[in-house]
Structure 1
Amino acid sequence: MNEKIIRVGTTYIPVRDISRSSSWYVSNLGAELSYKDEDKVILNFANQSFFLVRAKETETANFYDYSGQERFSLTFEVNGLSALEEVHREFVKRGMKVGDIEDRGHAGRNFVFRDPDGNLFDIWSELSPEFKDRFNI
């Protein structure tokens, strides 16, 4: 089965305002705008497509774990701790909602951030070995 599913191609993210959100992703995360209509935007970044889909006011991609803690559903990767620290500094400088860099007891470090709609994302300092091999990093 591992050979049949190659990668995650598209991630769908609920947003309230298509124009505001797409501008935020383009300016803060370096996304490329691929398509836009009144109900959705297609952005390309981090080696996949992201659909920002107009959703209800209270909708986010977040979920709550068994203890009631709000969780992210997506982790981005950067290449090393210094890259993570640089992204963190840049996000703070831009005034984004950013958590502290954390040691979660596994390899690397992480931090979380939110988009304007409250969608929570994680960034990890370790690129997966398969990704490094595939792209000669």
Structure 2
Amino acid sequence: MNEKLWRIGTTYIPVSDIELSANWYLEKLGARVNYQDDDKCILDLANQSIFLVRSPSGQNANFIDLAGEEHFSITFEVDGVKSLEFLRLELAVDDVRVGELEDRGHAGRNFVFYDPDGNKFDVWSELSPRFKEKYRLLEG
């Protein structure tokens, strides 16, 4: 494969309160803080570096698609439908705003959830084949 870009190293997410958001990502999603100050927090989450960037209230990473629907900019992956269902239930019990399980006409299932600033995220029940190839072989 002749890839010019190898991976996404960092994703930036606007948040209004660094301390509140950092704690939310730690408690709800199991992120790990690498660095934090008044204007940013660098997290390890889902094999990626996530920068929480202090931004004005009401701003988030969502956008409106052609159908007029609010859309997420990030899809997280879990290993299977059972993992997806468990995560959704766990987040809902933990007072995180979550959507219903969805069948979008492709392999697996999805649901969406929101952080305290209204950033909308997607979760998919299928791990990408390249991820499985790279990391699953290390387990066996």
* TM-score > 0.5, shorter chain as reference: yes
User: Deviations for 1:39-96, whole angstroms, at most 9, x for unmatched residues?
Assistant: 1000001000000000011210000011211000000000000110110110111010
User: Deviations for 1:19-51, whole angstroms, at most 9, x for unmatched residues?
Assistant: 000000000000001101111000001000000
Tell me, what secondary structure is at the counterpart of 1:83? helix
Tell me, what secondary structure is at the counterpart of 1:98? coil
Uncovered stretches (5+) of structure 1, i.e. residues with no partner = none
User: Deviations for 1:115-136, whole angstroms, at most 9, x for unmatched residues?
Assistant: 0000000000000001000112
Query: 1:41: which partner in 2?
Result: 41
Give identity over the alignment, percent.
58
- Partner AA of 1:42 in structure 2: I
Pairs within 5 Å for 1:52-91: 52-91=52-91
Tell me, in whole angstroms, the C-alpha distance in 2 between the residues paired with 1:71 and 1:136.
30
- Partner AA of 2:57 in structure 1: E
Q: Which runs of 4+ in 1 moved over 3 A?
A: none
Pairs within 5 Å for 1:120-135: 120-135=120-135
Query: 1:12: which partner in 2?
Result: 12
Pairs within 5 Å for 1:86-101: 86-101=86-101
1:2 offset after TM fit, Å?
4.3
Superposition CA RMSD, Å? 1.1
Tell me, in whole angstroms, the C-alpha distance in 2 between the residues paired with 1:46 and 1:2.
25
Query: 2:26: which partner in 1?
Result: 26
In the superposition, the TM-score normalised over structure 2's length comes to 0.95
Paired residues, number = 137
1:5 offset after TM fit, Å?
1.2
